[in-house]
């Protein structure tokens, strides 16, 4: 099953006999600005217009726990996550399509959470809301309660120690912008740089100018050039496990399984005892 779906394919599925549950996960990374610009409000964006029948999912409250030493977006309490998904109408036997405002990061976090906790049929709307050509709705749907019960597996998730080990024994990809990887700038976390041995692979390079993923063969070639071989064990991290989920999704489009280090740089850099590499060299 493909991990992404086009807007035209989604329109066809919605008109079919087993339409997917739609989750709207609009979110943006909020960084304090001197201009006093208000933070992005995904719920307000949803209220102004969303795919008909879509339910809003709050990334900060339902796809993550409050920020702590475990990172800015640590794993949520799984019981609370499951309850949120059931309220949204998610059932194990019903397909799910998630979308966001077009960047794809937040939708990928929802995709990863559902896949990691055992949902068998989840896809991301390629290009997000801007790719949708149909009408939008401002109504608030009241879906029937779903039956989804999260059942996470060991595969697909690594912690700080696992990331450090994978940087030596496999391939660990850093999905952040190159300047953050190199430690030239660090607008959010305690210190700039990267996990020693990690390779710079900005997830923004996985999409075209229209925000849609590059073809699977192009993505496969990109990751092969980075050293991902057929027998490679692959892990990904970013700042806080959001854009990294987008890279895991890109790898899935290319047919490559990968694990996510959810704590990512926000957790790694919070501990002064952990080593930090700077510059373009992985080490």
Catalytic residues: 238
Check: CB of residue 148 under 8 Å from CB of residue 86.
yes
Listed in sequence order, the residues at least 6 apart from 210 whose beta carbon sits closer than 8 Å to its beta carbon are 127, 131
User: Residue 11 burial by CB count (10 A; 0-12/13-18/19+): exposed, middle or buried?
Assistant: middle
Check: CB of residue 238 under 8 Å from CB of residue 244.
yes
User: Residue 8 burial by CB count (10 A; 0-12/13-18/19+): exposed, middle or buried?
Assistant: exposed
Q: Which helix (H) or strand (E) holds 125?
A: strand 122-125
Beta pairing partners, 269: none
Longest dimension (CA), the chain: 55
Q: Closest by alpha carbon to 260, among 275, 240, 274, 277? A: 240
Check: CB of residue 129 under 8 Å from CB of residue 99.
yes
Q: Closest by alpha carbon to 119, among 111, 127, 131? A: 111
């Amino acid at each position: 099953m493909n991990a992404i779906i086009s807007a035209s394919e989604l329109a066809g599925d919605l008109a079919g006999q087993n339409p997917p549950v739609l989750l709207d996960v609009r979110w943006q990374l909020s960084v304090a600005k001197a201009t006093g610009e208000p933070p992005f409000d995904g719920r307000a964006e949803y209220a102004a217009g969303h795919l008909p029948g879509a339910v809003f999912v709050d990334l900060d409250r339902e796809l993550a726990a409050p920020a702590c030493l475990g990172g800015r977006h640590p794993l949520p309490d799984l019981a609370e996550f499951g309850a949120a998904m059931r309220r949204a109408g998610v059932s194990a036997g019903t397909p799910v399509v998630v979308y966001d405002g077009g960047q794809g990061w937040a939708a990928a976090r929802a995709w990863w959470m559902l896949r990691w906790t055992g949902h068998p049929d989840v896809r991301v709307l390629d290009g997000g809301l801007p790719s949708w050509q149909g009408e939008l709705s401002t109504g608030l749907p009241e879906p029937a309660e779903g039956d989804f019960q999260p059942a996470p597996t060991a595969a697909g998730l690594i912690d700080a120690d696992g990331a450090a080990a994978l940087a030596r024994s496999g391939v660990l990809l850093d999905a952040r912008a190159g300047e953050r990887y190199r430690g030239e700038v660090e607008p959010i976390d305690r210190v700039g740089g990267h996990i020693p041995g990690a390779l710079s692979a900005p997830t923004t390079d996985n999409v075209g100018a229209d925000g849609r993923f590059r073809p699977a063969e192009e993505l496969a070639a990109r990751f092969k050039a980075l050293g991902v071989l057929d027998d490679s064990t692959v892990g990904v991290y970013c700042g806080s496990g959001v854009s990294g989920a987008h890279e895991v999704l890109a790898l899935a489009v290319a047919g490559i399984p990968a694990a996510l280090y959810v704590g990512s740089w926000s957790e790694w850099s919070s501990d002064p005892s952990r080593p930090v590499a700077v510059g373009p060299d992985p080490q």
